[in-house]
């Protein structure tokens, strides 16, 4: 089968034929229908230090997908799954965070920050291939009312669901800093959950235009024409950029809330006294999705039919054209980019 392989510990990937995988005990085999490219995959492609520390080549990369189940190898004492039993023919997606289920953090119900976590498409083979195997315990059975393409973006959408839900935005003024796909999704979730006003911020005119097209934002802004200091009840920091984080601290109201989601490349310094003490703000950090609580919330929102993603999914490429898809991702002139094996 064709797959996108991190073959060597170096920048770039190989798009090549590899043997079809066989599901081990406790795994399902799926025919991948759509796989979507994540910002993380750019870092993996470029072989940033984080990628080098987490990936042992050769590994099939990619972690966002929808696939049709071909085979279930439940084995003995099959683990409980998201939605009861999974059968051939089901349309499934995958939670990226493969939890152990045994550590204290897991036992406390925080599976998404498991102490022994493995990552799908990073610490083991993932979704950029014609066929993939997924651990049963991280397989999510999709509701067939959700469009197939949208099923493939639930993992990043779920990030936004977890971030916005944790903050609580009903009736509040909300600023979303960073309008990549997850930032755009944060606008959608804030709209769905009844925010009073939603402003999006990005320094790329393309991304601001995309945000306007989705209809999820009341207005958009760039950091250079931004004047709303101390104005927002909730600031969702989705950019991970130094400038974005600084803007979040300036824009949040005294006693307001910042949600930290975007991951900076380097350490970030903060004026502790000016922001954390004098403004008495709350900072919430968000990593991935609550398993399976966030997926259920995501599902409810998607089956409601109230969210239209056609402006957000901007590109589709055959799997063989992965290099071209990656070029578009790196240009930043895109929303969500899908691969079709």
| Nearer to Zn ion (CB atom), residue 232 or residue 292 | 292
Q: How many of the other CB atoms lie within 10 Å of CB of 202? A: 26
| Nearer to Zn ion (CB atom), residue 38 or residue 92 | 38
| DSSP line for 82-96 | BTB---TT-EEEE-S
Q: How far is the CB of 99 from Zn ion (least distance, A)?
A: 5
| Nearer to Zn ion (CB atom), residue 104 or residue 272 | 104
Kindly state the greatest CA–CA separation across the chain.
Answer: 60
CA-nearest of 156, 161, 175, 154 to 229 is: 175
| Nearer to Zn ion (CB atom), residue 98 or residue 220 | 98
Residues 44, 5: Cα–Cα separation, whole Å? 11
Q: How far is the CB of 37 from Zn ion (least distance, A)?
A: 8
Q: How far is the CB of 3 from Zn ion (least distance, A)?
A: 18
What's the burial of 273, exposed, middle or buried (CB within 10 Å: 0-12/13-18/19+)?
Answer: exposed
| Nearer to Zn ion (CB atom), residue 106 or residue 210 | 106
Q: What does the buried/exposed string (b/e) look like for 74-90 if buried means 16 or more CB atoms within 10 Å of the residue's CB?
A: beeeeeebbbeebeeeb
Residues 28, 69: Cα–Cα separation, whole Å? 7
CA-nearest of 303, 301, 314, 293 to 189 is: 301
Q: What is the contact surface with Zn ion in residues (CB under 5 A)?
A: 38, 99-100, 103, 106, 114, 116, 156
| Nearer to Zn ion (CB atom), residue 138 or residue 257 | 138
Question: Could you tell me where the DSSP H helices lie in 6-66?
Answer: 39-46, 49-54
Q: How far is the CB of 77 from Zn ion (least distance, A)?
A: 18
Contacts of 282 (CB under 8 A, 6+ apart): 255, 256, 257, 258
| Nearer to Zn ion (CB atom), residue 37 or residue 307 | 37
Distances (CA, A) of 24 to 39, 70, 98, 139, 198: 29, 13, 15, 14, 46
Q: How far is the CB of 96 from Zn ion (least distance, A)?
A: 6
Helix 205-214 and helix 181-192, axial crossing angle in degrees, nearest 10: 30
Q: How far is the CB of 145 from Zn ion (least distance, A)?
A: 23
Q: How far is the CB of 103 from Zn ion (least distance, A)?
A: 3
Q: How far is the CB of 73 from Zn ion (least distance, A)?
A: 22
| Nearer to Zn ion (CB atom), residue 103 or residue 328 | 103
- Token pair of 10, please? 């170096």
273 DSSP assignment: I
CA-nearest of 179, 289, 275 to 230 is: 275
Q: How far is the CB of 156 from Zn ion (least distance, A)?
A: 5
Q: Return the sign of the alpha-carbon dihedral for residues 23, 317, 239, 93.
A: negative
| Nearer to Zn ion (CB atom), residue 96 or residue 247 | 96
């Amino acid at each position: 089968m064709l797959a996108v392989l991190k073959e060597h510990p170096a920048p770039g990937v190989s798009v090549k034929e590899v043997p079809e995988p066989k599901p081990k005990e406790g795994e399902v085999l799926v025919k991948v229908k759509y796989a979507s490219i994540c910002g993380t995959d750019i870092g993996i492609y470029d072989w940033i230090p984080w990628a080098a520390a987490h990936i042992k080549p050769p590994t099939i990369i990619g972690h966002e997908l929808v696939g049709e189940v071909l085979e279930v190898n439940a084995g003995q004492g099959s683990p409980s799954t998201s939605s009861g039993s999974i059968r051939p023919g089901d349309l499934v997606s995958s939670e990226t965070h493969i939890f152990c289920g045994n550590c204290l953090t897991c036992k406390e119900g925080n599976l998404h920050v498991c102490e022994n976590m493995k990552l799908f498409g990073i610490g083991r083979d993932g979704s950029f291939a014609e066929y993939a195997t997924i651990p049963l315990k991280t397989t999510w059975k999709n509701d067939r009312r959700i469009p197939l393409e949208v099923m493939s973006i639930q993992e990043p959408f779920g990030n936004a669901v977890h971030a916005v839900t944790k903050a609580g935005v009903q009736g509040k003024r909300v600023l979303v800093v960073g309008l990549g796909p997850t930032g755009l999704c944060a606008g959608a979730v804030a709209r769905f959950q009844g925010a009073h006003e939603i402003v999006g911020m990005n320094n790329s005119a393309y991304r601001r235009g995309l945000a306007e097209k989705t209809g999820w934002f009341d207005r958009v802004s760039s950091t250079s024409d931004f004047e709303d200091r101390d104005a927002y009840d909730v600031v969702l920091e989705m950019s991970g950029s130094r400038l974005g984080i600084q803007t979040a601290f300036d824009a949040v109201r005294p006693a307001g809330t910042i949600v930290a989601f975007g991951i900076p490349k380097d350490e970030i310094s903060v004026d502790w006294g000016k922001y954390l003490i004098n403004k008495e703000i709350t900072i919430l950090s968000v990593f991935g999705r609550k398993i399976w609580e966030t997926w259920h919330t995501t599902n409810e929102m998607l089956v409601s039919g109230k969210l239209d993603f056609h402006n957000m999914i901007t590109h589709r490429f055959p799997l063989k054209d992965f290099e071209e898809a990656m070029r578009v991702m790196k240009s930043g002139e895109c929303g969500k980019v899908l691969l079709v094996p």
